[in-house]
Amino acid sequence: MTATVSYDDVEVGTTLPEQTFPITRLNLVMYAGASGDFNPIHWDERFAKQVGLPDTIAHGMLTMAKAAQVVSNWVGDPGAVVEYGVRMTRPVVVPPGWDGAQLVVSGTVAEKLDQRRVAVDLDARVGGETVLAKARAVVQLA
């Protein structure tokens, strides 16, 4: 698959469609199985509270992946994301129940780079609080 967004059609300030990702405890168990990360802070409420957390928390890499999904959905090709980095600023607390936490992610083209690449800055929040800082993806466009 190749990127469906054209470099020539993108300007600095172009916004990516905002997306909301529910993260439930079921998602945490599924991610633990896929990743092999069975740290009990991600599935055992009692343990998470014993180590000072308010409740179970999402895997940081799961949060990062959901944020990156906004970029890959926009460009139409996950392989077009050639660089990606974030700083985790606070954990995503996942309360019990089917609603879980709601991760809201938006993005903006911050720079046009050489070789038909753009830098996209991402904003990831739960309950209005930033959970990822300095979240930036570099994307190879058509």
127: Cβ–Cβ under 8 A, 6 or more apart, which residues? 101, 102
pTM for this one? 0.93
Concatenating the DSSP letter of every residue in 75-134 gives HT-GGGEEEEEEEE-S--B--SSSS-EEEEEEEEEEEE-STTEEEEEEEEEETTEEEEEE
Which class is domain 7-22+61-140?
Answer: alpha beta
pLDDT tier for residue 1 given thresholds of 50, 70 and 90: low
- pLDDT of 2 higher than 70: no
pLDDT tens digits for 34-74?
Answer: 999 999 999 999 999 999 999 999 999 999 999 999 999 99
At 4, the pLDDT band (50, 70, 90 cuts) reads confident
Task: Write out pLDDT tens, residues 73-131.
Answer: 999 999 999 999 999 999 999 999 999 999 999 999 999 999 999 999 999 999 999 99
Segments making up each domain of the chain, as ranges: 7-22+61-140
Sign of CA dihedral 138, 76, 32, 101: positive
pLDDT value, residue 133: 97
> Cα dist. 47→28, 55, 130 in Å?
15, 9, 25
Q: How many helices (H) and strands (E) does the chain have?
A: 3, 5
**What's at 77, amino acid-wise?**
D
